[in-house]
Amino acid sequence: MKVSLEWLRDYVDIDQTAEDLAEILTRGGIEVGGVELLHQGLDAVVVGEIARMERHPNADKLWICEVNLGDRSTTIVTGAQNLLVKDRIPVALPGTTLPNGVHIEVSKLRGVESSGMLCSTEELHLDSEMGDPRSEGGILILGKDAPLGVTLDTVLGEGDCVLDLELYPNRPDCLGMVNVAREVASLTGGALHLPTWAEGTKGPDYPVDPNARIVLDDPELCRRYAGLVVEDVKIEPSPEWMQKRLKAAGVRPISNIVDITNYIMLEMGQPLHAFDRDAIAGAVHVRRAQAGEKLVTLDDLERELDPEMLLIADDEKALGLAGVMGGLNSEITDSTKNIFVESAHFSSVSIRRTSRRLGLRSEASNRFEKGVNPHGVAATLGRVAELVIQLGAGKPVGFIEQAGQLSEHVAVSLTVEKTNALLGTTLTEEEITEVLKRLRFPYEEKDGGYEVQIPAYRSDITIEEDLIEEVARLTGYDRIPTTLPQGDQTQGRRTPEQEFKRTLRHLLVRLGLNEVMTYSFTRPDADRQFGDMEQAIPLLNPLREELSVMRTALLPSIMEIAARNISRRNLDIRLFEMGSIYKSKERPLVKLPHEELHLAGVIWGKSSRHWLTPVTEYDFYTVKGILEEVAREFGLEFEYRLPNNQELTHPGRSADIYLNGEKIGLMGEIHPALGKEWELERALIFELAMVPLIEAGNRTIRAFSIPKFPAMQRDLAVVVSQEVSAQDVMKRIKELGGELLVQVNIFDVYTGKPIPEDRKSLAFALKYQALDRTLKDEEVNALNQQVLEGIEKEFGAAWRK
């Protein structure tokens, strides 16, 4: 919001400089982003009049001009071709430095002395549309009433400054000059001089036009709608004072009627729109757009609408987008004779949605999105009628209004005790009373406190804490004492889950994997292969079709990353991702979906990480080794079983992963058919649910001294049925061996002659060791025999000698 200080002084007495006022506002919570001094550098440029013009004797395109400066004349040579005798123009005399940095001196042009320069808008850093239409592309031609000899800054507005307010969304009231004036008055104590209509709630006293009718088809989206009918309109430029104020606020002047609506919007904070009354057929309807309905807006673009958008329409057609932009079919033109000026209160949510969907923002939509005062809708039209009459732009003849249920004025209680308790201050009752008086909020003293009536324009104040903030602002934040935090303090540390994830990431990186992060969205067909499409959540507004469902598995996203790298000749792929998957059977969602943390990885290619290391191709045991390192790090014991889903992984080179009897994931080589589809032949994949790992993980460290005594190893080969799991046998061996059996490894699985077809041979290496003595052969042999007898009994094993 750009605030002209010259304009602001109409409403409030200001004794401070622009810089001091900016500091006061900023300290009071209304941040001022910058202070711009208008017409800076124009105090040395004066107004002159072309008294005589003649062609330069030595140049066809130059003119010798005698310029009258009021008290004297001077001769200036110019190449401008847009000048006539009696034109009043800006003159830079010798010794002047222009706003564009050019320094003016006496010079000779083709033998004729030139004592100064005639200036254009570009050289003066002024609006290119300023002055007479002949000024375009040439010297600035001022109005005939510009006084000779005075400086240009005096003509254009001496000493005007513009404060650039950077408002937060909770202060939409300060998008109007009268409310900025209220804010300045409360902070500085200056006297207010507001327009009569700024304090009112009723509309102007004009009869209802029998030909005008308003129909609120959707009262939820439009609480109040009012209109002013003006006849005998005369479309012409607005006066210079209004144009200067609009330009200072960053608004381009157009015509008197349009400028009046913009001027009052900036003044009162209430957006307005003027329709050509003769273009309205029948009643004015405030309704939702129909599906596929189209409207050509004032920017000459045809826009397709939907039922979520609010329209202003008549009995036959749409006239404009409510609160955003008018339609071209009801635009004010030079031939307009009668107008209908709209003032309304629209739903901020509806306007925000319409503006965002169409990518169309305006000064009006900016205000409606943040919220306008519904009680000031009708009164604003009284100010319109006042300016229309003042400018002689037409004759107001009728006022009409339709209102739904308006919100009541808010009453908020305030106590001295709670104010001081929250702020940590020792403010007195007199000081808080003074704050309420400066705010001009009506109040009553009640039960040792205050019952404060909040004006409708301050929609940001609804509870006592909001009023306490106002007390802090106006008494000064510097009065709030600095204190150290009190209360119990806890040491900051990672949660067990955070520590687990951090340790796991570091472990996988040490094992040679690279972490990637992907979108939580994926392709429906990819998610169908690896996840659970029955619980997949489709997106209402996806970025693109390839990212249209919330993922129920991590593997599709990370596999796409791997395939993209391979296509770019990266032939050594080791990737992992730790992220969430999302599942829900609700359609549509009424609560948050179930979210699970998963770990997934893809490995492809050959290892060649060091020139001394031979090139080896990744295989099933590469992935199994990584997962075993994870299990060892967290004190887990994975169990590997034949996979249930033979469509995802290779039937003979994959396994499902179990932990404590519960399936938590899969690992192995991708199924050949899928590998070909994804262009990831022989890729190795894994995906695990993380929650079971976190719950079962045990990183308690038990330290033992390095054994002084030698270990003894025994090999044990047994023949078992093909259905018996080697992992089950190894687990039972560890249990039977007791504390002295410190390590068991399987080193051979054999089938074939002389082993029967329905059986297989398993060979294990058993390592026995004691911390306090050297074991004897008899002791180890007895333990080994105990192990053999146990597995013979439990698995029907036969000792293979």
In the annotated binding site, the residues are 460, 466, 469-470
Chain centroid, CA 691 distance in Å: 33
**CA distances (Å), origin 672, targets 351, 555, 561, 675, 681:** 54, 16, 19, 5, 6
Q: State residue 354 phi and psi, 5-degree precision.
A: -65, -45
Cβ neighbours, 10 Å, residue 493: 8
Strand intervals (E) in 584-648: 594-607, 616-617, 638-641
Please name every residue paired with 37 in a beta bridge, in sequence order, or none if there are none. Answer: 161
**CA distances (Å), origin 637, targets 98, 196, 619, 685:** 83, 82, 21, 20
The answer, yes or no, to whether the previous bond of 754 is cis (omega within 30 of 0) is yes
Pairing mode, strands 73-78 and 59-68 = antiparallel
Longest pairwise C-alpha distance within the chain? 132
Contacts of 324 (CB under 8 A, 6+ apart): 351, 354, 355, 358, 360, 362, 364, 365, 368
**Contact between 555 and 685 (Cβ < 8 Å):** yes
CA-derived radius of gyration, the chain? 42
DSSP string spanning 548-576? -EE-S-SHHHHHHHHHHHHHTT--EEEEE
**Contact between 798 and 792 (Cβ < 8 Å):** yes
**Contact between 83 and 65 (Cβ < 8 Å):** yes
Pairing mode, strands 572-583 and 514-515 = parallel
The token duo for 720 is: 């078992």
**Contact between 114 and 76 (Cβ < 8 Å):** yes
Q: From CA 449, how far away is CA 444, in angstroms rounded?
A: 8
The token duo for 118 is: 């005639």
- Binding residues for Mg(2+), as ranges, are 460, 466, 469-470
- The upper half-sphere exposure of residue 398, i.e. CA atoms within 13 Å in the direction of its Cβ, equals 16
**Contact between 186 and 439 (Cβ < 8 Å):** yes
Burial class (CB in 10 A: 0-12, 13-18, 19+), 727: middle
The token duo for 43 is: 């105090």
Q: From CA 707, how far away is CA 742, in angstroms rounded?
A: 12
Q: From CA 633, how far away is CA 702, in angstroms rounded?
A: 13
